[in-house]
Amino acid sequence: MITLVDTTLRDGEQSPGVAFTVKEKVEIASLLFSIGINEMEVGTPVMGGNEAQAVKEIIAMNLPSRMLTWNRVLERDIEAALSCGAKALYISCPVSDIQIENKLKKKREWVKERFSKLIPELKKEGLYVACGLEDASRADPHFVLEISSLLEGLAADRIRICDTVGILTPFKTFELITFLRKYIKTPLEIHTHNDFGLATANALAGIKGGAVYVSVTVNGIGERAGNASLEEVVMALEKIEGIKTGINIRRLKELSLLVSMSSGKPIPPNKPIVGDLVFTHESGIHVDGVIKDPTNYEPFPPEDVGAKRRLIIGKHSNKRLLSPSS
């Protein structure tokens, strides 16, 4: 069973220029749950203010979904999350030497010490603990394994493997996840970014390699070029891989429009799955084929995702569009 972890309300909101209101966050969380998302990363409580208020209100909805907060491996982050009522937490830390040394100004040993101190305390309180290995794609894979083994020994509930700057390929993603799966029994989550346009492909490769959790955002919004797109990952799993996700795919367009409106980020017309041009046909050859049988030029019916088909007149049209019954 593959579990989709939606992080629109955390990583998605980190897209430059996006700032959801508390009301918008609650509305998005409600719709995500209603279409079948059972795990959400709902925010970063230590930011305080409206961010913490939104986290509190979403958790207080008591939806039968796991609501996770994002936290650094710092006590003040944990305290802020618990004050919001969080029962499930991501505790995240860089594992690449680049970020450990250049960003944190620490050494590898500090990372191990932080996880070793926090996880037993959190587990003792009965909390769900997911551990995020930031920048794992640029880290020494043997150190990623060392940290993962440590986390498994500490009874972490799952381990998130992050391609923080989007430099993995599907082949490298598969290799990394299969390498870890040889030694680690703790469930793995794949978290990908789209800097080279490979986030969705890498997410699928991670699943193929053995990850059972996958991070996604609606419309693929997120830092820089964004994250793996919820609608793309869902439809690829459903229609290409034949894997049922439990998502009501007929409401994907509705969800996409809500997040677009709330984020202020228009949906690109050629955006896979939900873009306006995905089921729009102009070329005479294509129009003729679609009139005869839509499966000639469509991988699935537009109705599957709440969209509509359009046949338009343009430079490449022919008389077939003017007499579709002939």
Q: What is the DSSP string of 14-32?
A: GSTT----HHHHHHHHHHH
* pTM to 2 decimal places: 0.95
pLDDT in tens, 56-98: 999 999 999 999 999 999 999 999 999 999 999 999 999 999 9
Q: Using CA atoms in the order 86, 118, 125, 29, what is the torsion angle rounded to 10 degrees?
A: 20
In whole angstroms, what is the distance from residue 25 CA to residue 44 CA? Answer: 13
CB 30 within 8 A of CB 61: yes
Helix or strand (DSSP H, E) at 142: helix 141-153
**C-alpha distance from residue 169 to each of 152, 240, 290 (Å):** 26, 19, 34
Q: What does the pLDDT look like over 124-157, one tens digit per residue?
A: 999 999 999 999 999 999 999 999 999 999 999 9
Task: Give domain 3-263's CATH superfamily.
Answer: Aldolase class I (3.20.20.70)
Architecture of domain 279-326: Irregular (4.10)
Where in the sequence of the chain do the CATH 4.10.430.20 domains occur? 279-326
Looking at residue 286, its pLDDT comes to: 87
State mean pLDDT over 160-177.
98
Residue ranges, comma separated, of all CATH 3.20.20.70 domains in the chain are: 3-263
Distances (CA, A) of 17 to 112, 194, 221, 222, 228: 35, 18, 11, 10, 19
Mean pLDDT throughout 9-24?
Answer: 97
